[in-house]
Structure 1
């Protein structure tokens, strides 16, 4: 079980990732939340909602509360509540023990693709190979067909049954991403939004043409190189304004 210093460090990381989401406008105002599994427990740390919160763009460590896998608040100051859609997080943590962090946000460009039944196409490779991998690795992006609040355990289990990889596009709603740590779950959300943004612009210009299978294959052996450097970059973006 994590000690007090480790828990505080996790709260700081969750808060920082929330500020990155807000800075990049992947979600707005008070919408969205990121969580991390507390090692050795059936609980998580998650960005709180409620009248006392700071909003996604200005999330601080004391906006992050502990919640058990039944959705009960375990700590946190007055005015902070458990997000209504905490069951997105509990569902995934219960279904997939390897998942250590879960993110839910409302990027408008990705959401538009879910309501127009437009596919995200592999339009680029060398521009950003790590984004391309989301479209080429098996089951990386799932689709959830309902546009409802995941506000109970049953819906949380339903969503979790769909999310096989690291990202899910939720119809008329937003996205959920997950990963082995907070930073990777957040970077996946950023990459998914970048894919949607390029696709959206390409559809506006005309008829997007996917890159060739040969070019896609040339990136198959590449990993998500530069993850640490990319994360430092996004962290620097929020440092000046916070």
Structure 2
């Protein structure tokens, strides 16, 4: 990986974002990865290192530079994700995208097996999540490890132009654009919002209720709190969940 300051800052953000996902329960053990577009030909992605200890222990050195296509090449002791094709396919299909998150939130996996779409069952409780659900969160009806171009194409077809796609019995893929640092944070926050919605949906089901969407009037009345709150403030909050590093 090159040492230019821009790359270093993005690698640090990806590493921190991986630790945030672990702290929020979006990933378990060593599963899950985050990438950011570096150029038309390369991306930065969280890889498994020689002392792999899971996403909670991710360091900037675990973020490696790999080509957008073809052989990964020598990564000096690190191994690219088995599902690297997820990141390559999304970044190729979505030119505006600059960050991709793949996570396995247990609640999202469980909710996906209900074979029902997630709906906006609340409003002000989590406005970004409500809006995402109201616009529709697509689902890809496969549980396969995404390691081939054909599987990745099916997943990106299901994603289309949406920010998140749920992979049935597998997890989710979240996509964001803009500058890479903000995009990584946004993609993680989108995953958090879907996880929150899935957990609340399961809670309603477990209590014997039926999840139903709020009214169109209530949806229309929800304000846009802006990126300063939805991304910057929320990100600072998630950083407080990280264990203190010795």
What is the TM-score when the length of structure 1 is the normalising length? 0.91
Q: Summarize deviations over 1:214-241 as a string: whole Å, max 9, x none.
A: 1112127565561201011112221524
Q: In 2, distance between residues paired with 1:206 and 1:222?
A: 33
The match for 1:158 is 154
Q: Is the 8 A contact 1:37 1:93 kept in 2?
A: yes
Number of residue-to-residue matches in the alignment: 237
The match for 1:8 is 8
How far the C-alpha of 1:77 sits from its partner, in A, is: 3.3
Q: In 2, distance between residues paired with 1:148 and 1:96?
A: 22
How far the C-alpha of 1:51 sits from its partner, in A, is: 4.8
Q: Is the 8 A contact 2:119 2:134 kept in 1?
A: no
Decide which moves more: 153-162 or 17-26.
Answer: 153-162
- Report the CA distance shift for 1:75/1:6 in structure 2 as closer, same or farther (over 3 A): farther
Q: In 1, distance between residues paired with 2:214 and 2:115?
A: 21
**SS of aligned partner of 1:234:** helix
Q: In 1, distance between residues paired with 2:245 and 2:199?
A: 25
Q: Summarize deviations over 1:65-96 as a string: whole Å, max 9, x none.
A: 11111253356431x11111001100001101
The match for 1:167 is 164
Decide which moves more: 113-122 or 195-204.
Answer: 113-122
Q: In 1, distance between residues paired with 2:71 and 2:244?
A: 35
Say if 2:207 is the partner of 1:211: no
RMSD: 2.0
Stretches of structure 2 lacking an aligned partner (at least 5 in a row): 178-182
The match for 1:68 is 67
Q: Is the 8 A contact 1:72 1:82 kept in 2?
A: no
Say if 2:193 is the partner of 1:201: no
The match for 2:115 is 117
- Report the CA distance shift for 1:145/1:17 in structure 2 as closer, same or farther (over 3 A): same
Stretches of structure 1 lacking an aligned partner (at least 5 in a row): none
The match for 1:89 is 87
Q: In 2, distance between residues paired with 1:116 and 1:173?
A: 13
The match for 1:240 is 244
Q: In 1, distance between residues paired with 2:32 and 2:71?
A: 18
The match for 2:52 is 53
- Report the CA distance shift for 1:7/1:225 in structure 2 as closer, same or farther (over 3 A): closer
- Report the CA distance shift for 1:145/1:71 in structure 2 as closer, same or farther (over 3 A): farther
How far the C-alpha of 1:172 sits from its partner, in A, is: 0.9
**SS of aligned partner of 2:26:** coil
Q: In 2, distance between residues paired with 1:158 and 1:210?
A: 28
Q: 1:228 aligns with which of 221, 229, 232?
A: 232
